[in-house]
Chain A
Amino acid sequence: MSMNDLKIVSTQSTPLIETDSARGVIYMEGDSYPENSFEFYSELVAWVTRYLKDNERPLVVELALLYLNTSSIKVMMDIFDELEEAHQQGREVKVNWRYDADNERVAELAEEFKEDCSFSFNIIGQE
């Protein structure tokens, strides 16, 4: 883990966020409904921008997110848009979103993000 990586512990209303610039991985897990999502996600948004700017390596986003309030959805859409732009320029980008197969709402949420992304976006239901 380099100096610039993030390790944000989860709270009731915010997810765990970890980044690994050496491996090119972002990991997020849990619920996301902070009152001010733009503020909460500013570090992650800055990390993504810097990672994409600083090197040419692939980026894999591993997600186990459950419920997102609409302002968190807006921020995630902004991040996916940035990944899409990088992908259009030839970057290898991948999202793997794992969810409990009983909870179809999570799959529906992930599916709506996927619709707007042309990179590899896997929605993986787990028993």
Chain B
Amino acid sequence: MLVSDLYELRERFDDEKILLCFNGPISRSLIEEIGNALRNYLKSEQASPASAIDVFAVYIELTQNIRHYALKSGLTGADMATVVVSFRDGHYHISAGNLVRLKDGESVQSAVNALAGLDKTELKKRYKEQLRKPRDEQATTGAGLGLIDMARKATAPVQASLKPLANDTGYLSLSVQI
């Protein structure tokens, strides 16, 4: 990208009310540093302690899920994360995407969609059930507890989209509104 193009990129960020954006290989230390920046931003914007903790929690679950998936799947490029936090219409939106095997993306998408119709009481029940499952069982179902936790914190159903790409892979995006 030419230097002169950055202004347009910035305008796009401003239009979309994006307050934080990252695109590239994500590491443990980057998750912490960006998380720190996010917390400082929320503090300076005087977000309520409850919203600040919810936004941070969702950010951590989304990015750590990507890290765990990248390590577990061994899929080349799975650790290239796109993370966006925006504030629109009185709500924070935390989104994260990465490359996945198509079948893994489909199972996350169906898990997210299965939670979409549940009310807070049902979500809490699912959460407690998941918490009691043996760790091995959790590992096979992937990010079970994290997805339920995000659904509980969200003020609208979690959005999951999957764009099929070459070689049985796809780009999985999750978006959570607080």
Contacts and interface: CB of A to CB of B under 8 A. Distances in A.
Contact of B146 (A70, A77, A104): A70
A119 interface: no
Contacts of B149: 70
A112 B120 CA distance: 14
Interface range on chain B (Cβ under 8 Å from partner): 20 to 34
B154 to A, nearest CB: 14
Interface of A: 12-13, 33, 35, 38, 66-67, 69-71, 73-74, 77, 100, 102-106, 112, 116
27 contacts: A12-B32, A12-B36, A13-B32, A33-B60, A35-B28, A35-B31, A67-B53, A67-B57, A69-B60, A69-B61, A69-B64, A70-B145, A70-B146, A70-B149, A71-B64, A73-B131, A73-B145, A74-B135, A74-B138, A102-B49, A103-B50, A103-B53, A104-B49, A104-B50, A105-B53, A106-B53, A112-B128
Interface of B: 28, 31-32, 36, 49-50, 53-54, 56-57, 60-61, 64, 67-68, 128, 131-132, 135, 138, 145-146, 149
